[in-house]
Amino acid sequence: MAHQLTLHAGSSNTDVIHDIVQHALRSAATASTTNGAIDVLGQALLEVERLAAHPSVLTH
């Protein structure tokens, strides 16, 4: 994603994933092209996948 999200200590796993999805949806909605929107959503899915593969990232 073009913008990095700031993860706060103490956030639950679902809160972090919710923030990623919300940010991606907002960015996709304002993307100048359809391909740009798809890229934003794809990057969000990859980020969620990365976090799911390393659950300790979410719990610190």
- Say which residue the tokens 């959503």 belong to: 41
pLDDT score recorded for residue 1: 41
Query: Exposure string (b/e) for 10-38, b if CB count within 10 Å is 16 or more?
Result: eeeeeebbeebeebbeebbeebeeeeebe
Closest by Cα among 6, 7, 4 to 59: 7
Mean pLDDT by 10 residues, the chain (60 residues): 51 85 97 97 94 68
Model pTM? Answer: 0.70
The CA–CA distances, whole Å, from 38 to 14, 27, 43 equal: 23, 10, 9
